Amino acid sequence: MPFSKHPSLIIRQADPFNAGPPPDLLSRDEITPADLFFVRNHGNVPALDPAVYRLRVGGLVARPLELSLEDLRRDFAEHTVAATLQCAGNRRMELLSVREIPGEVPWDLEAISHGVWTGVRLSDVLARAGIAAGAAHVAFTGLDEVERRGRRFGFGASIPLDKALGPEALLAYEMNGAPLPAIHGAPLRLVVPGYIGARSVKWLGEIVIQDAPSDNYFQSVAYRLFPPEADAATARDEDGRMLGELFTSAAICAPLTGETRPAGPTVVRGYAVGQGGAAVDRVEVSADDGRTWTEATLLGEAEPWGWRLWEAEVELRPGLQTLVARAADAAGHGQPAGLAETWNFKGYMNNAWHRVAVVGIIKT
């Protein structure tokens, strides 16, 4: 397995490398071990020498900066944030049962992981540069190389200034208490808790404060959410909504669709996330396709930016049946019931109730 990753990883694409952990391992640990943490790449994994690495900060600032890793560690307070990263394309595979989605990675429920990130606050670095009048967005560019529309450029993104000033937005050089692995953006990556993974730019090279969102392809064209009725052939980019905050959702990691289990009490396990820093408040599981619900036990501790692993015991009947999971967060966000509501031709942000079809068997 490349990049010292776990041999059980599900590889969705070899080059660029896109992979995630199988559901049983994904839901085993509250903090996803680095070798199991999902990977989403659009281009190469650049080899960057930490000794010569510099982070540039410019745009609408009083003082442009050029910071070495040593400068960052010496001049700024260190902070640690526990945050779940989730790709906007997580659970795209279910949408593929509605219609095909050409050219996008067919993630099942594994494009998500939870890490503990250590570094310096983005807000502290921006304050050092001095935020000038007119600032409204903060743009980021990676040092990798991606090709789109015949052009080669670094993967980029932007976030609104008020999100950038939040204490949770981190420039991270450590993951799970160890140096950030190359595949996850070493020597320095942005971590934007609560936003789609695409905003957490890896191999961060440059920060630019702007009056408008980034014109990088991955901010201005990709990662836009279209309504269910929009069609790939006729939609214009401007009609899609630029994605930011992730939605509340839950997924069943065990049992899996197609699994056979003895009829009777059975344990269902999975993960759930809230929206905008609201902790997961409740997860419910139905063994009769949504007619009646059993409240799941939330495992671990409530974290504003973290997922919650959960388990529930439900009564499995003999024969084929559908298990369903749904979550609600402390701010009252819930989930749409079906894929008709979450369908979009790019296959982003699918947070419909998660359904798995399982078979209960009678032991003789």
Ligand X SMILES: Nc1nc2c(c(=O)[nH]1)N[C@H]1C(S)=C(S)[C@@H](COP(=O)(O)O)O[C@H]1N2
Least distance from C-beta 272 to ligand X, angstroms?
A: 18
Token digits of residue 258: 């197609």
Bridge-based pairing of strands 55-59 and 204-210 is: parallel
Partner in contact with 201, chosen from Mo ion, ligand X, none, beta carbon below 5 to 8 Å by kind:
ligand X
Alpha-carbon distance 140 to 123, whole Å? 14
Kindly state whether residue 202 participates in binding ligand X, applying the rule CB under 6 A: yes
Alpha-carbon distance 274 to 246, whole Å? 8
Closest CA relative to residue 198, chosen from 189, 209, 210? 189
Closest CA relative to residue 224, chosen from 247, 200, 242, 245? 242
Least distance from C-beta 287 to ligand X, angstroms?
A: 32
Kindly state whether residue 346 participates in binding ligand X, applying the rule CB under 6 A: no
CB contact at 8 A, 197 and 204:
no
Least distance from C-beta 315 to ligand X, angstroms?
A: 37
Least distance from C-beta 111 to Mo ion, angstroms?
A: 7
Considering only residues 92 to 151 of the shown chain, the ones binding ligand X according to CB under 6 A are 142, 144
Question: CB-hemisphere CA count at 13 Å for 45?
Answer: 17
Q: What are the residues binding Mo ion (CB under 5 A)?
A: 40, 87, 197-198
Alpha-carbon distance 37 to 39, whole Å? 7
Kindly state whether residue 83 participates in binding ligand X, applying the rule CB under 6 A: no
Q: Which listed residue (23, 197, 240, 244) binds ligand X by CB under 6 A?
A: 197
Of residues 126 and 175, the one with the C-beta less far from ligand X: 175
SS3 (DSSP) at 43: coil
Kindly state whether residue 41 participates in binding ligand X, applying the rule CB under 6 A: yes
Kindly state whether residue 87 participates in binding ligand X, applying the rule CB under 6 A: yes
Of residues 144 and 329, the one with the C-beta less far from ligand X: 144
Of residues 94 and 284, the one with the C-beta less far from Mo ion: 94
Partner in contact with 346, chosen from Mo ion, ligand X, none, beta carbon below 5 to 8 Å by kind:
none
Kindly state whether residue 201 participates in binding ligand X, applying the rule CB under 6 A: yes
SS3 (DSSP) at 116: strand
Task: Tokens 């490349």: give the residue.
Answer: 2
Kindly state whether residue 39 participates in binding ligand X, applying the rule CB under 6 A: yes
Q: Which stretch binds ligand X (CB under 6 A): 69-77, 96-104, 123-131, 200-208?
A: 200-208
Partner in contact with 269, chosen from ligand X, Mo ion, none, beta carbon below 5 to 8 Å by kind:
none
Kindly state whether residue 203 participates in binding ligand X, applying the rule CB under 6 A: yes
Alpha-carbon distance 217 to 127, whole Å? 28
Alpha helices, DSSP H, located in 196-241:
217-220
Kindly state whether residue 200 participates in binding ligand X, applying the rule CB under 6 A: yes
Q: Which listed residue (155, 195, 226, 293) binds ligand X by CB under 6 A?
A: 155
Of residues 141 and 342, the one with the C-beta less far from ligand X: 141
Kindly state whether residue 40 participates in binding ligand X, applying the rule CB under 6 A: yes
Bridge-based pairing of strands 354-361 and 260-262 is: parallel
What sign results for the dihedral spanned by CA atoms 173, 175, 178, 181?
negative
Least distance from C-beta 332 to Mo ion, angstroms?
A: 26
Residues 6+ positions from 166 with CB-CB distance below 8 Å: 123
Of residues 148 and 261, the one with the C-beta less far from ligand X: 148
Alpha helices, DSSP H, located in the chain:
23-26, 69-75, 92-95, 122-129, 161-164, 217-220, 339-342
Kindly state whether residue 224 participates in binding ligand X, applying the rule CB under 6 A: no
Partner in contact with 305, chosen from ligand X, Mo ion, none, beta carbon below 5 to 8 Å by kind:
none
Partner in contact with 144, chosen from Mo ion, ligand X, none, beta carbon below 5 to 8 Å by kind:
ligand X
Count of residues of this chain found to bind ligand X when the rule CB under 6 A is applied:
19
Length of the chain: 364
Token digits of residue 65: 């900066």
Question: Which residues form the interface with ligand X (CB under 6 A)?
Answer: 37-43, 85, 87, 142, 144, 155, 184, 197-198, 200-203
